[in-house]
A = this chain, B = another copy of it.
């Protein structure tokens, strides 16, 4: 077994970047800039729960890191590094080569080097644990509790595509090949706005990444900040592939669809132009989708300013099987 695991280690042992020591030691060591706090988050990805067993391993490698980078984006943090723990039911070199290529490519794209981790044999299911580290200037993190009445609510990227792809791939909806083709990469290769978030952070009050559905995730901000919000359905950036779906399916995918890994944040209205310019510079679609209110509760209004009733608040992905 030792030999096998030496082979595995090879895929995940790039040279340590400058300033990081202890690669292969019990701990990895790195520095946080003076006057900065460490921002950290860990996510577990489990076979059958967060990904299908037959998913493209290259894309799975990317997504395993991407969902964690999305947490750094919500912190407006500069990535410093990551740890990867793998529980493998079998040792498949082809799979490992593709998975590690995807993981390390995305790590390089975001300057978030793999600095440590752990590989072990699992009993049955493939298990992926990732921890990311970033830094933010002291006290400057856009906490969920920092939204203020009158703030604009902003969203990067588009909504609904990942949810739709998941419904086709899980067999919940009868297959529509064209629509699956148009949405699948949003589910399997999410692209959180990590760099934009660092530049936009000084203008943010509160931020969250959309992982469990816009309505549910925004509600976390409202609860933590003790305020409410109006969302304008007409202003939501709905993925083009959702055109032609019946209204209720579309609404569910847009408002409650998970796996988005885009950023929802609040900011004072004075920063509107600055934020739009920043988004443009970073090639990010940025939409102003509502506003924070002093009274509590989330109100979602249609084009006629009529409230939309949410039948499903948040989408727990793969929950059908539990």
Contact = CB atoms under 8 A, between A and B. Distances in A.
A27 B1 contact: no
A116 interface: yes
A121 B38 contact: no
Contacts of A134: 27
A71 B119 CA distance: 15
A201 to B, nearest CB: 12
A111 interface: no
A314 interface: yes
A77 B21 CA distance: 14
Interface string A15-55: 00000011011111111101001111111101111100000
Contacts of A296: none
A117 B136 CA distance: 19
A145 to B, nearest CB: 8
A268 interface: no
Interface in A104-135: 116-118, 120-125, 127, 129, 131, 133-134
Contacts of A322: 1, 121
B42 A116 contact: yes
Given A21-B143, A131-B83, A133-B38, A75 B29 contact: yes
Interface in A219-265: 220, 224
A40 B127 CA distance: 20
Contacts of A275: none
A144 interface: yes
A2 B220 CA distance: 13
B49 A116 contact: no
Contact of A38 (B25, B31, B129, B138): B31
Contact of A25 (B1, B87, B143): B143
Interface of A: 1-2, 21-22, 24-32, 34, 37-44, 46-50, 70-72, 74-75, 77, 83-87, 116-118, 120-125, 127, 129, 131, 133-134, 136, 138, 141, 143-144, 207-209, 220, 224, 313-314, 316, 319, 322
Given A1-B322, A24-B220, A29-B37, 15 more contacts: A25-B74, A25-B75, A25-B143, A26-B41, A26-B74, A26-B209, A29-B141, A31-B37, A40-B83, A40-B133, A42-B42, A43-B85, A43-B118, A85-B129, A123-B125
